[in-house]
Amino acid sequence: GLEETICSARSTDNLDDPSNADVYKPQLGYISTLNSYDLPILRFLRLSALRGSIRQNAMVLPQWNANANAILYVTDGEAQVQVVNDNGERVFDGQVSQGQLLAIPQGFAVVKRATSDQFRWVEFKTNANAQINTLAGRTSIMAGLPLEVISNGYQISPQEARKVKFNTLETTLTHASGPASYGRPR
């Protein structure tokens, strides 16, 4: 029985093939994920992977890993990255470049913006079906919350709450302009 199951199981998959992209914006780049649905053997490892390749000034909308830690390794280019912890403190605000590694714990919010022509990275996640939640965008936490909760939570007008909720139509990648780094938190 092992021949038909373990020995014949597929154990490799290529993440560098844009035609398999899960997120794709021609002007901005693509993101592909590899989880246990794509490669069943990952279920045993309880691990998954993500490959990103974005152009200059493309921003990966602020998000957090809901059920996994993420180990980010840069393969090409540079990006400005900010990470916020459970205390609301910015624990990383800097440039990551080729060959560098950054660990982003579960729940920590992260935003990435490419500052070189091409920024390419791979992320290893400690869950076979890693899930993210985003702070902005059409499928974000903001879109899922009632306007009442947003306007009362942040003490903003219903009109402002509407903008916060609906203005960003992208789901994962958007274009950013202006300076990429903003100095240390107040």
Partner 1 sequence: QFPNECQLDQLNAIEPSHVLKAEAGRIEVWDHHAPQLRCSGVSFVRYVIESKGLYLPSFLNTAKLSFVAKGRGLMGRVIPGCAETFQDSSVFQPGQQGQGQQGRGQQGQGQEQEQEQGQGQRQSFRDMHQKVEHIRSGDTIATPTGVAQWFYNDGNQPLVIVSVLDLANHQNQLDRNPRPFYLAGNNPQGQVWLQGRQQQPQNNIFNGFPPEVIAQALKINVQTAQQLQNQQDNRGNIVFVKGEFGVIRPPLRGQRPQEEEAVGN
Q: Are 114 and 57 in contact (CB under 8 A)?
A: yes
Q: Please, what is the minimum distance in Å from the beta carbon of residue 85 to partner 1? A: 7
Kindly tell me which of 7 and 169 has the beta carbon lying closer to partner 1: 169
Q: Where are the alpha helices (DSSP H) in 46-146?
A: 141-144
State the nearest-atom distance from the C-beta of 119 to partner 1, in Å.
16
Least distance CB 182 / partner 1 (angstroms): 4
Shorter beta-carbon distance to partner 1: residue 6 or 91: 91
Q: How far is the CB of 134 from partner 1 (least distance, A)?
A: 8
Dihedral angle over CA of 162, 63, 108, 110, nearest 10: -110
Q: C-beta of 7: minimal distance to partner 1 in Å?
A: 28
Going through 43-77 in order, the beta strands assigned E by DSSP cover 48-55, 58-65, 70-76
Residue that is written with structure tokens 């246990």 in the block: 36
Is the CB of 10 or the CB of 186 nearer to partner 1? 186
55 Cβ neighbours under 8 A, 6+ residues apart: 27, 28, 29, 114, 117, 118, 119
Where do contacts with partner 1 occur on this chain (CB under 8 A)? 59, 61-62, 64-69, 82-91, 105-107, 109, 111, 126-127, 131-133, 135-137, 139, 141-150, 152-156, 159-160, 162-164, 166-169, 174, 176-179, 182-183, 185-186
Region at 29 (left for phi over 0; alpha for psi -120 to 50; beta for the rest): left
> Is 64 or 121 the residue whose CB approaches partner 1 more closely?
64
Q: Which is nearer to partner 1, 122 or 173 (CB)?
A: 173
